[in-house]
């Protein structure tokens, strides 16, 4: 039996279970259909086969979930950090136990390759462990004394919060948002993307099984424009942590205005990888390829623009073309597959529409540039060369396995091209000149910069973007700053003179 067949066989009973049960909400500890009874079908991007009917929730379901989260909040917030730590570690243990089930479901539901999803499931467990360990110190503050007052700061959880997630690596991203919220003492209503509901359901089940009290994590499935919108407008929900498209972030900001929602946005990117001629070019090549073609290019931090110095461009490009042509596109459950199908047909059409755009703009399609096969949402890994900075392929987030190469003359030109986009999430820089690396990194408009490296996350560091790529930061205490309120208590020492009024 091949590895692919083994994975298929392991997935089959899981799919039967999901098809039979449907993907239900989890509200106040209860698995429930949408109150209206409405459902929508979810299909696999591998072959368009039916997976399950999913609860199509609306404002009434969101209201029930928000009320459950509100009811559960005082006890959850009052529970000590040590107790929350224990529970969150238990969740991580159960994720590890079910990591293969999560990976298989994620592959089938999203088209992401098993090669990466098996690691992403474990990353989800790491996210829980990391924030579990931070839970006991979540409320800690500072002592800021003056000669007249003792100032004591502390943090308190905000209340019930909403988490809205996208379809790319949805399990890992959900844990990245939900784990710190729970560790901080907030209760959560999670609205996952309509295109990838399977693993959100698994996460809710796992949390429930680990002993998370009813109402602490609620799952409400549905469409962005009804369930998502209602969550952002609900008066009991104090904050919205959102990961998704820039234009959706903008809509959420408007929707949340009347209830003064605190928002945290992780949005789109058009991230540059800048390769200077003094770099370790073999490592730069590996990293540039990994950062755009892994995860099907459906990755916010993908290096979708390659800025390469003219003196090495021809050679670097030739090697790139050779490698891109060898990337293995295939069934996501095959462990050898490097690129699987895109999330759905509309997205496939969007990605492929850029092939015509590129040609019309005068760029060259140096590799790929067509659909892969007849069935499913597969596309060839694609490389555009002879591009210039103003082209749509150099400006817009394509969100697929598509790389645009733009040559540059010198540092000044590279910086100007790197910053000449609406986005500012990540930047990658390849040079062995340390002074240039520092100078360039300081000037690059991005929230995160990796020098001589692909994206390697260290969880205590801040994650997030500038410009149209987001508002706020995740990671370490930055996550707690979002999910918690700061309070200062000033205690007078009884020594200062109070200004007296009404003394005549």
Contact 132, 84 (CB under 8 A): yes
Burial of 370 (0-12, 13-18, 19+ CB in 10 A): exposed
Q: 387-403 burial, b if ≥16 CB within 10 A, otherwise e?
A: bebebbbbebbbbbbbb
Interface residue with ligand NAD among 85, 123, 177, 229 (CB under 6 A) is 229
Interface residue with ligand NAD among 130, 276, 399, 408 (CB under 6 A) is 399
Tell me which stretch binds ligand NAD (CB under 6 A): 132-140, 187-195, 276-284, 495-503.
187-195
Q: How far is the CB of 409 from ligand NAD (least distance, A)?
A: 30
The one catalytic residue among 266, 298, 396, 454: 266
Those residues whose C-beta lies under 8 Å from the C-beta of residue 253, and which sit 6 or more positions away, are: 263, 265
* Contact call for residue 57 and ligand NAD (CB under 6 A): no
Those residues whose C-beta lies under 8 Å from the C-beta of residue 31, and which sit 6 or more positions away, are: 24, 25
* Contact call for residue 226 and ligand NAD (CB under 6 A): no
How far apart are the C-alpha atoms of 44 and 19, rounded to whole Å? 12
Q: 96-124 burial, b if ≥16 CB within 10 A, otherwise e?
A: bebbbbbbbbbbbbbbbbbbbbbebbbbb
For 100, 101, 103, 128, 374, the CA distances from 96, given in Å and listed in that order, are 8, 10, 11, 11, 36
* Contact call for residue 234 and ligand NAD (CB under 6 A): no
* Contact call for residue 232 and ligand NAD (CB under 6 A): yes
Q: How far is the CB of 421 from ligand NAD (least distance, A)?
A: 13
Tell me which stretch binds ligand NAD (CB under 6 A): 137-145, 180-188, 261-269, 438-446.
261-269
Q: How far is the CB of 89 from ligand NAD (least distance, A)?
A: 25
Q: How far is the CB of 249 from ligand NAD (least distance, A)?
A: 7
Q: How far is the CB of 233 from ligand NAD (least distance, A)?
A: 9
300 catalytic, yes or no? yes
How far apart are the C-alpha atoms of 443 and 450, rounded to whole Å? 13
Interface residue with ligand NAD among 22, 160, 256, 268 (CB under 6 A) is 268
The one catalytic residue among 105, 107, 207, 300: 300
Q: How many CA atoms lie within 13 A of 76 on its CB side?
A: 27
Interface residue with ligand NAD among 114, 130, 167, 408 (CB under 6 A) is 167
* Contact call for residue 164 and ligand NAD (CB under 6 A): yes
**Beta-bridge mates of residue 329:** 339
User: What DSSP string runs through 217-267?
Assistant: EEE----IIIIIHHHHH-TT--EEEEES-HHHHHHHHHHTTTTT-EEEEE-
Q: Which is nearer to ligand NAD, 357 or 466 (CB)?
A: 466
Tell me which stretch binds ligand NAD (CB under 6 A): 109-117, 159-167, 273-281, 478-486.
159-167
Contact 406, 387 (CB under 8 A): yes
Q: Which is nearer to ligand NAD, 228 or 368 (CB)?
A: 228
Per-residue mark of binding to ligand NAD, 442-471 (x: CB under 6 A): -----------------------x---xx-
Counting residues that bind ligand NAD (by CB under 6 A) gives 33
Q: How far is the CB of 473 from ligand NAD (least distance, A)?
A: 11
Which residue has the CB atom at the shortest distance from ligand NAD?
Answer: 224
Q: How far is the CB of 126 from ligand NAD (least distance, A)?
A: 17
SS3 state of residue 296: helix
Look at phi and psi of residue 328 and say left if phi exceeds 0, alpha if psi is from -120 to 50, else beta: beta
Q: Which is nearer to ligand NAD, 157 or 224 (CB)?
A: 224
* Contact call for residue 297 and ligand NAD (CB under 6 A): no
* Contact call for residue 245 and ligand NAD (CB under 6 A): yes
Q: How many CA atoms lie within 13 A of 397 on its CB side?
A: 23
Match 């404002």 to its residue by tokens.
59
* Contact call for residue 176 and ligand NAD (CB under 6 A): no
**Distance between first and last Cα of the chain:** 97
How far apart are the C-alpha atoms of 290 and 73, rounded to whole Å? 42
For 263, 302, 403, the CA distances from 456, given in Å and listed in that order, are 26, 12, 20
Q: How far is the CB of 154 from ligand NAD (least distance, A)?
A: 29
Catalogue the active-site residues.
266, 300
Residues contributing to the site for ligand NAD (CB under 6 A): 164-168, 173, 191-194, 224-225, 228-229, 232, 243-245, 248, 251-252, 255, 266-269, 300, 397, 399, 425, 465, 469-470
């Amino acid at each position: 039996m091949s590895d692919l067949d083994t994975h298929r066989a392991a997935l089959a009973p899981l799919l039967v279970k999901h098809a039979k049960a449907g993907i239900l909400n989890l509200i106040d500890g209860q698995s429930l259909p949408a109150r209206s009874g409405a459902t929508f079908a979810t299909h696999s991007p591998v072959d368009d086969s039916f997976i399950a009917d999913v609860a199509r929730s609306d404002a009434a379901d969101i209201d029930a979930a928000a009320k459950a989260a509100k009811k559960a909040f005082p006890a959850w917030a009052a529970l000590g950090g040590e107790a929350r730590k224990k529970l969150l570690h238990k969740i991580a243990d159960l994720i590890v136990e079910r990591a293969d089930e999560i990976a298989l479901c994620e592959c089938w539901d999203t088209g992401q390759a098993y090669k990466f999803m098996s690691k992403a499931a474990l990353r989800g467990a790491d996210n829980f462990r990391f924030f579990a360990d931070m839970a006991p110190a979540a409320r800690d503050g500072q002592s800021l004394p003056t000669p007249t007052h003792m100032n004591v700061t502390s943090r308190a959880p905000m209340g019930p919060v909403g988490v809205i997630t996208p379809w790319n690596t949805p399990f890992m991203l959900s844990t990245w948002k939900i784990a710190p919220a729970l560790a901080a003492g907030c209760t959560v209503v999670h609205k996952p993307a309509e295109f990838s509901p399977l693993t959100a359901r698994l996460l809710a089940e796992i949390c429930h099984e680990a002993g998370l009290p009813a109402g602490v994590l609620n799952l409400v499935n549905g469409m962005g424009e009804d369930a998502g919108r209602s969550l952002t407008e609900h008066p009991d929900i104090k904050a919205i942590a959102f990961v998704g498209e820039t234009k959706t972030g903008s809509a959420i900001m408007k929707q949340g205005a009347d209830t003064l929602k605190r928002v945290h946005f992780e949005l789109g990117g058009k991230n540059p990888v800048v390769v200077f001629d003094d770099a370790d070019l073999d490592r730069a090549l590996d990293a540039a390829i990994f950062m755009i073609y892994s995860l099907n290019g459906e990755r916010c931090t993908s290096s979708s623009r390659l800025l390469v110095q003219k003196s090495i461009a021809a050679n670097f490009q030739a090697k790139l073309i050779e490698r891109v042509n060898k990337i293995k596109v295939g069934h996501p459950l095959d462990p050898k597959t490097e690129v699987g199908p895109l999330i759905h047909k509309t997205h496939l059409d969007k990605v492929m529409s850029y092939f015509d755009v590129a040609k019309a703009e005068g760029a060259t399609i140096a590799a790929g540039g067509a659909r892969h096969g007849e069935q499913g949402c597969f596309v060839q890994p694609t490389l555009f060369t002879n591009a210039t900075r103003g082209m749509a392929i150099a400006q817009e987030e394509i969100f697929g396995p598509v790389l645009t190469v733009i040559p540059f003359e010198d540092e000044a030109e590279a910086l100007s091209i790197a910053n000449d986009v609406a986005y500012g999430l990540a930047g990658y820089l390849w040079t062995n000149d340390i002074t240039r690396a520092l100078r360039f990194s300081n000037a690059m408009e991005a929230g995160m910069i990796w020098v001589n490296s692909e994206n390697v996350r260290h969880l205590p560091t801040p994650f997030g973007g500038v410009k149209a790529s987001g508002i706020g930061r995740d990671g370490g205490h930055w996550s707690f700053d979002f999910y918690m309120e700061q309070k200062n208590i000033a205690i007078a020492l009884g020594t200062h003179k109070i200004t007296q009024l009404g003394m005549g």
